[in-house]
Every structure is written in C-alpha cells, then in structure tokens.
C-alpha cells in the first residue's frame, strides 16, 4: 500500500532557530502534498497545499514566510519553520495524494515540534 514517511518524528529546538520537516512518498508519486497542524486534543488544521514544481497555496491566516514549503520532486515535500517560537510548538502532519489514487490520501506519522 501507499506509504508516506515523515521525518523527524520529534524535534526540540531553541527559540529563533529554524527546523525542517521532511515528507516522502515511498512507493508512489505524490503530485499533491498537504501540511497540517494539530494542537493538543484538537483537530487537524490545513496549513497549505503544495503541488510538485509550483508554489504552495497557504490557508488563510498561515504565514507563508514563516512556514516555508518546498515540493521540488514527486516524492519529497519539506516544511521549514523559520525563526521558531514557543507558540509554534505543535504536532505537524503531512499527507500525500498520488495521480492515480483518487480520494486516496496517505498520512505521515507526524512530527512533534517543541520550541524552548
């Protein structure tokens, strides 16, 4: 079945530094990838949608200069949290959809980011 690998699974960083999270589709080509943020005991909120080779589309209220998304290949998308602050601490989850997997969204295992 379709597998999405997300790395790292957890990361602790100092305030002001940047953190990169990777999302890889291991056995299919992900034409579209999605990045979500989840606060404790809350639902997933879509941050942005990225299509391979084009700029990401950000949801309203999401700072595109803070959350940099790159989808340079059909198997890799990255989310970089720049100049991280404690309020950026959250659980980030990616999801990928392939060209031949109609309605098939495969989720990564998530990344727990803690900014201290």
Partner 1 sequence: AQSVTQLDSHVSVSEGTPVLLRCNYSSSYSPSLFWYVQHPNKGLQLLLKYTSAATLVKGINGFEAEFKKSETSFHLTKPSAHMSDAAEYFCVVSKAAGNKLTFGGGTRVLVKP
Residues binding partner 1 (CB under 8 A) = 4, 6, 32, 34, 41-46, 49, 91, 93, 95, 97, 102-103, 105, 107-110, 112
Of 12 and 16, the one with the shorter C-beta distance to partner 1 is 12
Nearer to partner 1, 4 or 81 (CB): 4
Name the residue nearer to partner 1 (CB basis): 49 or 82.
Answer: 49
DSSP-derived secondary structure for 73-97: ETTEEEEEE-S--GGG-EEEEEEEE
* Contacts of residue 90, Cβ cutoff 8 Å, sequence gap at least 6: 37, 38, 39, 113
Strands 44-51 and 57-58, bridge-based pairing? antiparallel
Min dist CB 7 to partner 1, Å, is 12
């Amino acid at each position: 079945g379709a597998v999405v690998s997300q790395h790292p699974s957890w990361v602790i960083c100092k305030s002001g530094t940047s953190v990169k999270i990777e999302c890889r589709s291991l056995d299919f080509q992900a034409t579209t990838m999605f990045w979500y943020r989840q606060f404790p005991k809350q639902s997933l909120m879509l941050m942005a949608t990225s299509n391979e080779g084009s700029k990401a589309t950000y949801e309203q209220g999401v700072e595109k200069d803070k959350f940099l998304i790159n989808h340079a290949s059909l198997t890799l998308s990255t989310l970089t949290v720049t100049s991280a602050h404690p309020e950026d601490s959250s659980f980030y989850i990616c999801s990928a959809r392939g060209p031949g997997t109609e309605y098939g969204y495969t989720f990564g295992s998530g990344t727990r980011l803690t900014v201290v």
